[in-house]
Amino acid sequence: MAEAQEWAGQMGREWARRVEALDRQLAPAGAVGLAALAPRPGEHILDLGCGGGATTAKIVKAVGPEGAATGIDISPELLAVARARPGNQAATFLEGDAQGWDFDAGAYDALFSRFGCMFFADPPAAYANLRRALKPGARVVLTVWRDLGANPWAALPAAVGAEVLGPAEPPAAGAPGPFAWADPMIFRPILEGAGFSGVEWREEPITLQIGEAGEAGPVARAVAMLTRIGPAARRLKGRPEADCAAVAERLAPALEPFVSDGWVRMPGLIWVLRARA
């Protein structure tokens, strides 16, 4: 199934069910990205792949009553969360695929995305469309994951999944997915080909706090999250319960070294991309 269909369906529903935990998990990346964007009062900003609207709410606050924040996402369940989130009453939310959305030309002063920018079926077409939606000189800040091997929060569950289920088929280079833009030689020509200039990127380490709050121990909470969201979860979709139990059993001891202050905390590595329209 195509990534867009996944996000519009089951994957979006899974994220919406766990949005509080996932917002907490991804908050460091959102903070780094928004600091690079530095939203200004009065600006109109597009939040691409806004999900449950956590970053949109921060943009609303930064641009103030004279500005405007617009979030776009393909998941109706996540957008329902975004619209209900405190702080988003003044935001506008669009349900659909930004690749083909009929944006007003030159409507936005800036484009932002926290991991919502690597899932397009046709990235060159999508970014050409987004470029038309931006004012000349508009700022662009996108956060994307570096490679799988640099992100133990994903690499470790993926390795455990491979032990139980066999090796996963490697995705094609640049195929839509969370690590599609791990290589700058993938995203740089896409952005430059769409008309963006000054494309640059820097590496940023973050720490992910993994799991939902609850009475279970930190490892059990993290196992529950990592077997429902992420690389291992993708492998387990539609598999027998015995396979799910086997992955969970092997994953638990591997997560023990990452427990700190009552949570599993794992390192991650991202790119912070900047460009101009």
* Residues 145-184 pLDDT 10s: 999 999 999 999 999 989 988 888 887 777 888 999 999 9
Give the chain's radius of gyration (CA, Å).
18
pLDDT at 4: 67
| Half-sphere exposure (Cβ direction) of 233: Cα atoms closer than 13 Å | 16
Query: For residue 243, is it within any domain?
Result: no
Query: For residue 236, is it within any domain?
Result: no
- Give the length of the chain: 277
pLDDT at 266: 97
pLDDT at 1: 44
pLDDT at 144: 98
CA dihedral 12, 18, 22, 25 (to 10 degrees): -150
- What are all long-range contacts of 184-187, with beta carbons under 8 Å and residues at least 24 apart? 184/271, 187/144, 187/273
Query: For residue 37, is it within any domain?
Result: yes
Task: Tell me the pTM.
Answer: 0.95
Report which of 152, 210, 193 is spatially closest to residue 24, judged by C-alpha positions. Answer: 210
Query: For residue 248, is it within any domain?
Result: no
pLDDT at 7: 76
pLDDT at 236: 83
Query: For residue 237, is it within any domain?
Result: no
CATH of the domain at 192: 3.40.50.150
**Domain containing 137: what range?**
3-147+172-209+265-276
Residue with tokens 């015995």: 242
pLDDT at 237: 84
Which residues of the chain fall below pLDDT 50?
A: 1
| Half-sphere exposure (Cβ direction) of 135: Cα atoms closer than 13 Å | 11
Residue type, position 49, single letter: G
| Half-sphere exposure (Cβ direction) of 231: Cα atoms closer than 13 Å | 24
DSSP letter assigned to residue 229: S
Let me know the angle formed at the C-alpha of 218 by 214 and 58, rounded to the nearest 5 degrees: 70
Kindly report the number of other CB atoms within 10 A of residue 121's CB atom: 15
Overall domain count for the chain: 1
